[in-house]
Structure formats: C-alpha cells, structure tokens
Chains A and B, each alone.
Chain A
Amino acid sequence: MTTVAEPAIKAEPTDAELMQWYRQMVLIRQFELRCAQSYQQQKIGGFCHLYSGQEAVAVGSIGAVRKDDYIITAYRDHGHAIARGMDIHPLFAELYGKRSGCSHGKGGSMHFFDTEKNFFGGHAIVGAHIPLATGLGWAIKYRKQDRVVLCYFGDGAINQGSFHEALNLAGLFKLPCIFLVENNGYGMGTHIHRASAVTELKLRTADAYGIPGKDVDGMDCLAMYKMVRSAADYCRQGNGSIFLEVKTYRYRGHSMSDPQKYRTHEEVAEYQKHDPIGRLEKILQEKRLLDAAKISAIADEIHREVEAAHEKADADPTPELEDVWTDIYAQPFGPYR
C-alpha cells in the first residue's frame, strides 16, 4: 500500500496568504452570525446549518488547492462557498430566496453553486454527493487533466451506503479525489460513539478500499493547508484518492432549529478555547502581521461588508412566479400545467 507523504515543509504559506485566510475566516464567522440573526427574523426559510467553529477546515484546505480544482460539499456549505471566493451578496440573496441568489433562489442554504468557480454544491441528502465526487474525479482522469476533487461531508455521512460505494469506486479506479470527513463529533444530535462501530475514522478506508487515511486538526488552518497540499500532490501524481479525518467542532447546533440537549455548555466552551480564528490570530501577531488595532479594524471592515451585502440582498426583488418553469430542462418541451 502506498502511504501518504508527511506534510512537506516547503508548503509554507506566504504572509499574504495567511492574512487572506484570516480575513476569510472572520468573514465566515460574521456571515454565519448574520445568518443566525436573519433566520431568527424569518428572512431565511428551511434548514440553515452554520459553519461557526469549522472555518479553518474550508479555508485551509481550499487555500491549498488551485482555482481549477473541483469542490463539492454537503449542506453545511456556507464556509466552503466563501473560502472558494464566492461573493457574499449572492449568498445572502440565495438565503433570502431572491432571483439574484447564487442559485436564483431555487436552492437555498443547502444548495449554493458557482460553476465558474468550480464549486459544485451544496448537496442536502446525507452522503448522496460523494458518488458525484467520484464522477468529477472520473472526468479528470478520463480527460487526463491535472486537477483534484475536494469532497467534504460530515461524520454523519460515513455510514451511508453511498459513502462506501463511492470510496470503493474511487479506490478501484484510482480517482484524484480528496475525501474530507469533517468530524465534528455529532451527526445531528447523535454522538459518533452511538453511530459508528469504528470511531477512528481514518482507519476505515485503507484496508477496505485501498485509500490511505490520515487525521488532521481541523481547528488549525495551517495544519489543514499542509495536509491537503500534500494530499493534492499525491492525487496529482496519479496515486489515487486520499481520505482525511478532519477533527473539528461546530459551535452552533446542527441546524438553527436544534435545542442542543445532547451536549453541555462546558463542552462547547472547552472547544472554543482552541478557536481556529484565535489560533491564527496568535500566529499572525507573533509574525507582527496583526495587532489589536488591526484586528479591530478588520472586524469592523468585515462587519460593514456583511451588513451591506445583507441589506442589498434583503432589498432585492423576489423571483417572478413564471420563474418556477425555468432551470428544469436544458431543452424544455413545454411545461405540463
């Protein structure tokens, strides 16, 4: 069995990249805070799953790949969309069900898409997008392209049949896919110990599907960057897929409607001591790239940016009712009415 190279030292990010990631993480945190408020104000319908606490996972991993690499994720997709560089106005507009939304108001919170940015959703049936990731990988291999796929899902997805079928195909066909399980400890309200017979997830794919597994600290943006960078190199060299168990934690409930009776405030507080934004902040302060004044200025600037995007989206027009008949077929044949 081929093993994954240890994260290469050469893969150190530049100061500019570190600062960009810091801003992105703060942006995701503030975006989600605004979402929580908008949800409570009933501006957002349906389910809304916030990414607060997990920011380092999307930012560090997407920062480690190229813009032409493919991204696909599950329903907790706000962070990945922002890390991929999607503007936040069409994201708010999507949440508010507006025509100017990134999916024309047809998708909502769980279905953000931006194909120009190679961001392929936003998928809401647990685990159902993992086979899609193998299709993206298959197309890359078929076309002999120098690309990789980043496929994210939660620890709740890994007991679905679709996960196992997809991983077997990825291992069998040696597809250039990086599978990242964002293990935040809970599938909705069920702790992983009540859901998985084997809870050390990194062990689950090597023997079963010939896909090496590694674990990585998902609260550490730099660790994510280094691990994914080395995993991407492994995939680009034609070695097949990688499985990463990303240990992370969500600060908010599973969705906005979750009373969180399954965990204690103390547990949440304990994880917040290792906050991914705080950790990167400390590194940047040590490198003298940040100080208290700059931290405050960045927070204010991003707050204004978030509020402006939210207000613009809130004022945008709702779709025309005729829009229900669009975006169904590439070659429509007249609606059945």
Chain B
Amino acid sequence: MPVIQMREALNQAMCEEMERDPDVFLMGEEVAEYDGAYKVSQGMLAKFGPMRVVDTPISECGFAGLGVGAAMVGMRPIIEFMTFSFSLVAFDQVVNNAPKVRHMSGGQLSVPIVFRGISGPGQQLGATHSWTVDALYTHVPGLKVVIPSNPYDAKGLLKTAIRDNDPVIFLENESMYGNRGEVPEEEYLIEFGKADIKREGTDCTVVGWGHTVLTAMAAAEELEKAHGIKVEVIDLRTLRPMDINSILSSVKKTGYLVTVEEGYPQCGVGAEIAAQVQQHALDDLDNSVVRVAALDVPMPYSKPLLQHVVPSVQRVAEAIKRAIYFQG
C-alpha cells in the first residue's frame, strides 16, 4: 500500500471528488497560483483550471459567504481558510449563514460546503494565529465538525465531507501535513460519527482527536513500557456527530477516562464528553473524568511557554496516572 503524506492524502481527496463531480470547486487564499500556503492544493490549478481552483483576495467574510451562496444553488464549494484563526473574520458566515439557512427556510435549502484549513497552536505564531477552534464550531447545531489524525482518515473523511449535503468544518494541523501513513489506491469513504480505537487497553480510556491522538498514543506507549499500564486510545475523528457510544463502551471496560485537547478547558470538547459520560455511565466510572487541555491563557509566542501551555506527552501521562490512582 502506498505511504503518503497527510497533505497528499487531502490533495487526492479533493482531486478525486473534483474529477467525479463538476460542481466541486476549491476557493481560498493562495490555493491556486501559489499552490497552497501549505502545499495541500499543489498542482490542482494546472489540473482543473482557474474556475475550479480559485485564488481569492484576503477577504474571508467575502469568500466564505460566496461559498455559502454557491452551495445554496447546489454547488459544492471547498473553502480553504489559510488557518481557522482567520475564519473568525468570517464567523457570521460560518455559524449563521452556512448552518442556519436550511433551518430558516423550513428545509428548502441545503448548504453542501466544506470549510477546511489548519486549526491549533502552530509554530510560535502568537495568540491570534493560534486558535484551536474545535469547541467553537462543535457548539453550533447545523454544522458538522471533522478532525483527522492520520493520512488514511484525512482522505476518507474529506471525501465524505465533500459529498455530505450539510456544512462541514474540516480541521487540519500544520505540524501533521508531512506525517506519513498508508493510503490505499482504491476508493474508500469514512462515515461520520464513527470513532476509531487506535490502541486497545484495559486500564484507562484516553480520548483524543486530531493532533492529540498522537500525544495520547505516545503517552500510552510510554506508560506501557515504563509501568505496564494498558491504555485504550480512542480517536473521535468527528466531533459533531460525536461517537459517545464508543467512549461509553470503553469506559465500561476500563472504568477511567482522560480527554486530551489542544483547545481551552472552559466549555471545551472534553467538558462535553465528561458531562455526557457522567450522565450515561456514572456507575462505570471509578474516578472523576480527567481533562487535559491547553492552559487557560492566550497562546504565548516564546517556545518554552508555548510548550508549557499545549498538552505534552508528559502531561497526558501524568493525567492518566492521576486518573487511575497509580502510585509508582
């Protein structure tokens, strides 16, 4: 099976869907002639031409709204935000127009649009460029939120997102674009709302999504090697819909739960998971749910400070030990 980078997997997903469906087009800043700020759309202008791979001015509210309008008459825009930090300039289009015109028109309109781009703290970009937007968008009825952790999922989930008839927020991660993984040549899709058990274990359940799946996996391996602790790691893959049942089944087995996110703790995705698990499986829990999140501060520039704010492998490992009352 070919081993390719995450950016190539995303590129393949877009190219295959554009070949399949003439209503699909890609629009955003530097997606065409520059080949993408992170080279995700490399070669696509040459393949599809300037009506289907479209450079925009720096005008997020404008082109996000243009995408929503085009989707209202059946087109399938892929709108790239260079980073989702910039989606906040277009917040009204993303949280009001995209997910609500179906509702406010009594179901007459569909908005089959994908907003995609990077989310997360990035490489020392300072506070305004470092948004982790997963909780912001997961909050909104009418949106779907997808966040892959590896090239295989990235391709299968993005193809599903493009074919989905609802607005999809598709969150990527700058530091993961070069990550490699096996991606089959034959076509496949990944259904939304199906978490993936990345690693089976009996001692503690750890839930991550996107980049934090890698952090959780590293922590799990370290704890197994050092202490023989068997951690089960669940990759949520989509935050809305959220596969809460997979978490409940795992907690029934392990009795302990740790959530790991790069967003903020207050009203974060981990808080939602904790609330749902205590609501549906309080008797299965042998301790309170432990959340690992970014520290509750604006993202600092300085590297040691940044590394202190973002959940590290060590912080996750300590959280797991704390969750399971490990004394060692």
Contacts and interface: CB of A to CB of B under 8 A. Distances in A.
A152 interface: no
B234 to A, nearest CB: 18
Contact of A165 (B59, B72, B164, B241): B59
B106 A135 contact: no
Contacts of B70: 135-136, 138-139, 142
A72 B97 CA distance: 13
Interface in A103-149: 103-107, 111, 113-115, 120-123, 125, 128-139, 142
B65 A131 contact: yes
Contact of B166 (A102, A106, A136, A329): A329
A95 to B, nearest CB: 14
Contacts of A113: 101, 104-106, 108-109
Size category of the binding interface on chain B: 35 or more
B71 interface: yes
Contacts of B51: 142
A161 B65 CA distance: 12
Contacts of A92: none
Contact of B104 (A107, A114, A333): A107
Contacts, number: 148
B96 interface: yes
A131 B56 CA distance: 13
Contact of A139 (B57, B73, B92): B73
B160 to A, nearest CB: 10
Interface of A: 70, 72, 101-107, 111, 113-115, 120-123, 125, 128-139, 142, 161-162, 165-166, 168-169, 172, 326-331, 333-334, 336
Q: Give the top 6 A-B pairs by smallest Cβ distance, nearest first.
A: A135-B69, A131-B65, A165-B62, A104-B106, A330-B165, A132-B69
Given A128-B92, A136-B70, 19 more contacts: A101-B106, A122-B104, A125-B92, A131-B61, A131-B62, A134-B62, A134-B69, A137-B69, A162-B61, A162-B62, A162-B92, A168-B59, A168-B62, A327-B106, A327-B107, A328-B141, A331-B166, A333-B192, A333-B241
Interface of B: 25, 51, 56-57, 59, 61-75, 77, 92-93, 96-97, 101-110, 112, 141-142, 144, 164-166, 192-193, 241
